[in-house]
Structure 1
Amino acid sequence: MSRSPENILLRLPEAQEQSIREIFAQLEQRGFPRQQQTPHITITFAPAMAPEVVASAAELLPAVIPSTLTRVGAVVFGTKRKQTVAWLLEASDELEIAARSISALNPASRGARWTPHLTMGLRLPRDIVPDYLHAMDELVSPHLKEFTAFRAEYYRPQSQESLLLAESGMDVRRSQA
């Protein structure tokens, strides 16, 4: 049974996911812990997502999908024995505003905050983080700078259910019920 929280998240096109998985494989070949997560960008998460958060995401995200996010650096999350290494991303103003609005409705979040990032190393022992960052620098092409959020989903890991909220090419007109 998964202990992961429910998420409102952005998915990447298959080719971009595959590029990231190849980096994961190369890092593993260098002796670093295996990364099994599907590459994604989280907007907000909670142990159980409030229905109004999902409804807001379904209303706001179609207008900003697809969206380009630019890699602007690396960040380390966590202060204890296990840490997370991620690429810090910069989003368009429109996506940023939508994500902050969605997060603000989530009682489990920290309010209208959003730090767009793409996790590259999850639950890494703190003492290997500098070497992991160095290896990423060696392996990653400087041309891998932009990512496309082409789909938004509400994901429930307990049941492995995914609800499509927005997708590139979707008709964003909603019927007024």
Structure 2
Amino acid sequence: MAVDAPSQTVALLYQQHSGWLQRWLRKRLGDHERAADLAQDTFLRLLVSRRLPAFDEGRRYLVQIARNLVIDQWRRQRIEQAYLDSLAQLPEPETPSLETRAMVIETLMQIDAMLDDMPARVREAFLLSQFDGLTYPQIAERLQVSVSAVQKYMLRAIAACYQVLYAE
């Protein structure tokens, strides 16, 4: 079975840089196992994306992927911890199953990513509407924009919600 050029390039990058990347991650994370896992995830992401660095940019490219994975992991841990803290407040019979917890955490991660991708004004208008219950005129006053601007922001936010909802 023939191996394609991108796979060969990733294999070469792995041979040359995997140990270094694990050490770099271990220094930042303080955990050998997490560093090893994230190093593997870095190369897997590189292999799946099929976007390869320039010849002399291997380490820089790997660090950028690894850094993004670390940020994603920290974000997931924060969201998961907030969810678990809220569950701790529930009486025992109302505690959801492990499967339900995993589904909720995954949904929360999608919502977090969606909000993170929104422009600041769109996100702020959406959050003021959905969580603070403000009307469009109230949001317009708070953001010091017109009501039509708020309507446009909300259209963009709702479109982003639908995109996440129906992406699968």
- TM-score tier (shorter): under 0.3
Which is bigger in relative contact order (C-alpha 8 A, separation at least 6)? Answer: 1
Normalised by the size of structure 2, how large is the TM-score?
A: 0.23
Which of structures 1 and 2 has the bigger CA Rg?
2
The structure in which a higher percent of residues are strand is 1
The structure in which a higher percent of residues are helix is 2
